[in-house]
C-alpha cells in the first residue's frame, strides 16, 4: 500500500515551486489563483525572495502548502494514495490531496492559521528546541519538572523530539535535559512555541475559520497529528485539526500505525527530504522516496 506524506514548516527554500510553474500550465494556473486568494504575490516570494522572507510564518506556511499540493497534483503519475498524513502544516496538504478540502479552502485556512500563529507569537514570545539522544518519555518527564511552560511538541522519530515553551522554560529545560543525559538540545529558528498551550489564541481564531469551512469525506484515511489514527469522518477531522495547534504532533506513532495498517511505500511531496529521513528512522524496512 502507498502512503503520501507532506512536510511542515522548515523545509522552505528560495526558488521552491518555480520549476513546477515553468513546466506545467496547470501548476501556473494554481499558483496565479493562490496570488489572487492571498492578495499578494506569494510566487514572487517563493521564486525570487530572500531567506528571511520565507522564514516569516505567514509566508512559509502557504508557500510549503502550495509547493506540496501542486507537486503532488503534477508529479504523482496518477497514483492514488491508500492513506495520507502531513506533519503539522502538512496535514492541510494531506487533506486537500485526499479530497477532504478544496485547494482554495485549504489555502485560505493555511493563510488564516499562519496569521493567527504569528499573532499568538507576539502575544506570547516563545520558541522551540529539538532534543536528541533521549527517550521520549524521559524528555516529557523532565519537562514536567520545569516551573515554566515547556512541553513536547513534535514526536519526530525515536531519539528526536521537539519541545515548545517560553524562552525561560526552554532555557531551564535545556539545562535539565542535558544534565539528565540528552545528547543535544538545539534551539530552532521558528517564530514561537508551536503545538503547545501558548498557541491557544491561534487555536481559538482558527476554530472559527475551520467551523465555517466545508469538509468532504476523503478518498482514503487521513492519519491526523492529534491522534496518530486514521480518520474519514469530516466532523472528527475538523475537531482534530483544531486541537492540533496546541497538542503535540504524534509523528512517530502516525508512521508506525500506517505501517501496521499496510503501508509499504511512502512518497513525500513538497520541498526538502525531512520526512523521508524521519520515516527511515521510524520504520527502516519500508520504501521511501520524494518528489518536488
Question: Which neighbouring-strand residues pair with 150?
Answer: 165
Give the start-end residues of each E strand in the chain: 2-6, 83-86, 126-132, 150-157, 160-166, 184-187, 222-223, 230-231, 265-269, 287-291
Q: Which three cell numbers stand for residue 37?
A: 486568494
Point out the residues of the chain with pLDDT beneath 70.
none
- According to CATH, where is 3.40.366.10 located in the chain? 2-122+197-291
The CATH code that applies to domain 2-122+197-291 is: 3.40.366.10
pLDDT of residue 78: 79
pLDDT of residue 55: 80
User: Per residue in 190-204, pLDDT tens?
Assistant: 778 999 999 999 999
Q: Which three cell numbers stand for residue 45?
A: 516570494
**Superfamily of domain covering 125-187:** Malonyl-CoA ACP transacylase, ACP-binding (3.30.70.250)
Cβ atoms of 9 and 64 within 8 Å: the answer is yes
First to last CA, the chain: 21
Alpha-carbon dihedral 198, 201, 205, 211, rounded to 10 degrees: 60
Helix (H/G/I), strand (E/B), else coil: 131? strand
Main-chain dihedrals φ then ψ at residue 28, nearest 5 degrees: -60, -45
Q: Which three cell numbers stand for residue 133?
A: 539522544
CB-based contacts of 169, cutoff 8 Å, min separation 6: 126, 146, 148, 149, 150
pLDDT of residue 142: 96
Active site positions, annotated: 88, 195
Give the DSSP H or E segment for 216.
Answer: none
pLDDT of residue 244: 95
Q: How far is CA 218 from the centre of its chain?
A: 19
Q: Which long-range contacts (CB under 8 A, 24 or more apart) does 35-44 make?
A: 37/104, 37/107, 37/108, 37/111, 38/62, 38/107, 38/111, 42/66, 43/17
Main-chain dihedrals φ then ψ at residue 230, nearest 5 degrees: -75, 140
pLDDT of residue 132: 95
- According to CATH, where is 3.30.70.250 located in the chain? 125-187
Amino acid at each position: 500500500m502507498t502512503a503520501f506524506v507532506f512536510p511542515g514548516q522548515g523545509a522552505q527554500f528560495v526558488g521552491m515551486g518555480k520549476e513546477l510553474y515553468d513546466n506545467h500550465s496547470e501548476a501556473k494556473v494554481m499558483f496565479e489563483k493562490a496570488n489572487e486568494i492571498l492578495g499578494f504575490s506569494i510566487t514572487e516570494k517563493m521564486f525570487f525572495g530572500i531567506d528571511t522572507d520565507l522564514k516569516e510564518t505567514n509566508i512559509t506556511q502557504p508557500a510549503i502548502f502550495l509547493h506540496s499540493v501542486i507537486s503532488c497534483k503534477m508529479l504523482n503519475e496518477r497514483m492514488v494514495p491508500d492513506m495520507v498524513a502531513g506533519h503539522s502544516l502538512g496535514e492541510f496538504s494531506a487533506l486537500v490531496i485526499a479530497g477532504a478540502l478544496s485547494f482554495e479552502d485549504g489555502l485560505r485556512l493555511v493563510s488564516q492559521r499562519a496569521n493567527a500563529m504569528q499573532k499568538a507569537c507576539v502575544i506570547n514570545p516563545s520558541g522551540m528546541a529539538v532534543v536528541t539522544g533521549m527517550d521520549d518519555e524521559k524528555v516529557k518527564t523532565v519537562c514536567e519538572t520545569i516551573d515554566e511552560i515547556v512541553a513536547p511538541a513534535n514526536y519526530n522519530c525515536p531519539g528526536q523530539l521537539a519541545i515548545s515553551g517560553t524562552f525561560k522554560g526552554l532555557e531551564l529545560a535545556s539545562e535539565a535535559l542535558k544534565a539528565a543525559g540528552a545528547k543535544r538540545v538545539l534551539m530552532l529558528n521558528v517564530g514561537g512555541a508551536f503545538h503547545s498551550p501558548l498557541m491557544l489564541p491561534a487555536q481559538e481564531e482558527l476554530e472559527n475559520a475551520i467551523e465555517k469551512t466545508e469538509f468532504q469525506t476523503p478518498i482514503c484515511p487521513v492519519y491526523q497529528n492529534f491522534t496518530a489514527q486514521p480518520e474519514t469522518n469530516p466532523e472528527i477531522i475538523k475537531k482534530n485539526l483544531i486541537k492540533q495547534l496546541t497538542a503535540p504532533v504524534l509523528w512517530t506513532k502516525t508512521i508506525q500505525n500506517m505501517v501496521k495498517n499496510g503501508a509499504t511505500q511512502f512518497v513525500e511531496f513538497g520541498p526538502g527530504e525531512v520526512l523521508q529521513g524521519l520515516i527511515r528512522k521510524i520504520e527502516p524496512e519500508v520504501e521511501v522516496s520524494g518528489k518536488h
